[in-house]
Structure formats: C-alpha cells, structure tokens
Copies of this chain bind each other. A is one copy, B any other.
C-alpha cells in the first residue's frame, strides 16, 4: 500500500490507474479506524480494481467547541489495518494542503441540514460537503463508500453528488455494531469505564422504537415517548431523537413506508449518534 501526502502525487497515481482503464473505489475517513471503516474498505475491495482510503481530520466540519484537537489520530495503527485489507493507496494530506489560508469556496446542501444533527452542529455539513467535493476531485473515484451510522451525512453527500452531477456512484454500507449492539464509532475510544454501558442505551432506545413500529404503532409521538423512556436516566443526555422521513430527514407526522429512527446523545463529554432504518 502506497501512502501519499501530496495532491500532485495523488493526481499522477490516479492518471496512471485511469489510463489502464481500472476502476477506483474510495473510502474517505477521519482515521481512528474501526470495523465500520474496514467494512467500507472491504466493499470497495470487492467492487473496484483499486481502493483508495483517505485519512483527513477535516477542521471545516468541527465547531469551535467540538473535539477537533482531541480527535484520536492513531496513524500507525490505521496504516496497519489498511494494509491488512489490501487497500492500494492511503491519501493522508496535511490540513495546510487541504485548507490553505485563502480558501473561499463553500458547498452547502440545503433542507437536509435543517434536521437531526444540523441545528446542533452549524457549519458541520458544509464542511463535510466541501471537503468531500475536494477529495472526490482529487481521487476521481468511480464509487465512494459511506457508513449508514452517519445517515445524515450519507444523504447530504448523495444529494451533492446528484445536484452537482459528480460521475460517482455512492454506496451506503450498514452500520457495524459491537456484539452488544453499540454502533462502532471512533469516538467510542473516549468512553471510560461504565460509560460504554451507558452508551448502549441510545441503541436500546432506537430498538425500542423499532419494536413499537413493528408491533403496529403508527403515531410518531408515541414512538418517541417509548424511546425517551429508555433514555430517561441520568447517565445519558439526549440531544435529539427523531422519527423521520429517510429521504428528506424531516420529522414524520404519521408513520408509513420507511422510517428513520435517529438520535444523538452525550455520555459524559462524548457525543454519540446512531440510527435505525425501519421498513414496514
């Protein structure tokens, strides 16, 4: 596996690959890789001739009070994991390269960012969309792979790909969970002692909502109440819970067709998100 830091070197690698007519699958990450990321790499490995993974902790998608500085950066471990998965190229650009002092362009995706994490993380999805547009133009992939855990992100990026006519297929890969159900997340590393147990409550709440819907509940308020009851204790501080349209992300007034159950919660200082898609 090659490790490339410079966009110029990346471009010439891409040029050589494309000249041979090979397809490129791309997994953009912020590093601190876990089984969720690796499942994306494996999907790309199955479907494309070449697999590119990027590791870039994107400052544009962190708010001023968020965890940019303490975000885990275990680069050597990440590299070993990617070598095992037979990734072909790891793109690992510097912040300076990706976001130089004069950087004036913003890609915004409206409406979809009005819901769920959007109001709590102003500027976050603009940062995601802008850096994704950059990475896509650098890597020139045929397909990109994102995890369902960041469901809103998958919707924002998919909408950008469609609206701006990027010639790129998007693949959303199911959330990978620990045996107990906890969604894999780089931020799980922050959890200490009993916090891992508390973190599980978010998944339990979403599962409770799912079970209610599967048993016939069609009133979103009652589904929300069931989920909130699970999260009622002092160990978890709910930021939001939503029974939403999986396409627009807007809250549903009546449950029919597919439903997205999504939530964000703090366990100690750690913000966690999770979601379940329910098809009825």
Which residues of A are at the interface with B, using a C-beta cutoff of 8 A? 7, 11, 18-19, 21, 103-112, 129-130, 133-134, 137-138, 140, 159-160, 163-167
Contacts and interface: CB of A to CB of B under 8 A. Distances in A.
A167 B137 contact: yes
Given A21-B19, A108-B108, A103 B163 contact: yes
A221 to B, nearest CB: 28
Contacts of A167: 11, 137-138, 140
A148 B48 CA distance: 42
A6 B19 CA distance: 26
A164 B105 CA distance: 7
Contact of A108 (B7, B19, B106, B164): B106
A138 B164 CA distance: 9
Nearest to A14: B167
Contacts of A159: 104-105
A167 to B, nearest CB: 6
Contacts of A165: 7, 134, 137-138
A207 to B, nearest CB: 31
A107 B108 CA distance: 6
B137 A104 contact: no
Contact of A133 (B7, B21, B109, B164): B164
A222 B109 CA distance: 44
Contacts of A107: 105-107, 164
By Cβ-Cβ distance, the 5 closest A-B pairs, closest first, are A105-B163, A137-B165, A104-B110, A134-B165, A106-B108
Contacts of A19: 21
Given A7-B165, A134-B163, A137-B164, 6 more contacts: A18-B18, A19-B21, A105-B107, A105-B109, A133-B133, A137-B166
A116 B119 CA distance: 33
22 contacts: A7-B165, A11-B167, A18-B18, A103-B163, A104-B111, A104-B112, A104-B159, A104-B163, A105-B108, A105-B109, A105-B110, A105-B160, A106-B107, A106-B108, A107-B164, A133-B133, A134-B163, A134-B164, A134-B165, A137-B165, A138-B165, A140-B167
Nearest to A155: B104
Contacts of A109: 104-106
